Amino acid sequence: MIDKKLHVMTMDLTFTYLLIQLFGFVVFGIYATASFRKSRRDLFTQEGIGAIGMGIQTLLLGSWLAFATNTIHGLMVFCARNHPELRISRQILTSGVCATIICSVLFWDNSLIFYICLIATLINFVARTLKNDTSLRLLSMLSCTLWVAFHLLLGSWAGLFFATVAIIGHINYFSKRLYLGRAQQEAPI
């Protein structure tokens, strides 16, 4: 049976809960540092492992949908790892979106946390298809904002931390671009 209660950040400091949080920091860290890998194949491998681990952590905290969407994401990047062009193709993306929709119907619970998870996942999938860096980052920032709300409600300290760090990274990127743009406009001719 699917747990339908709304999870709220808790101060339940039982040993099991703390282990789940520690596990979350490890797997979110694996996922977040994947972009530092030298090859795309290694990046996809590490990202896939991190995504599936994140799914396990969210399942341990009570979200079947987050488990499913993170596992689907992990499987998508494993498929991309084996794609001849080392990318998430339209077919892989379409399969991921269809699987996410099917899982959302299977795990439907009509709660706020459910809608946040589903919308954030779909926005993230769309962002991954964009070639324009600014558009990708704006959608990723929107998705991360929803993930902050999701992890706050779920009680995932690691998810909350890493989503917040991602937002700060996007803000830093845009502020640097804005600063460099102004500096170029003000430069003497």
Tens digit of each residue's pLDDT (9 = 90 or more) over 147-162: 999 999 999 999 999 9
Q: What is the pLDDT of residues 165-176, one digit of tens each?
A: 999 999 998 998
What pLDDT is stored for residue 26 in this prediction? 97
* Residues 6+ away with beta carbon under 8 Å from 99: 68, 72
Q: What pLDDT was estimated at residue 11? A: 53
pLDDT reported for residue 23: 97
Q: What is the mean pLDDT of residues 106-129?
A: 90
User: From CA 55, how far away is CA 65, in angstroms rounded?
Assistant: 9
- Reported as a pLDDT band with limits 50, 70 and 90, residue 141 is very high
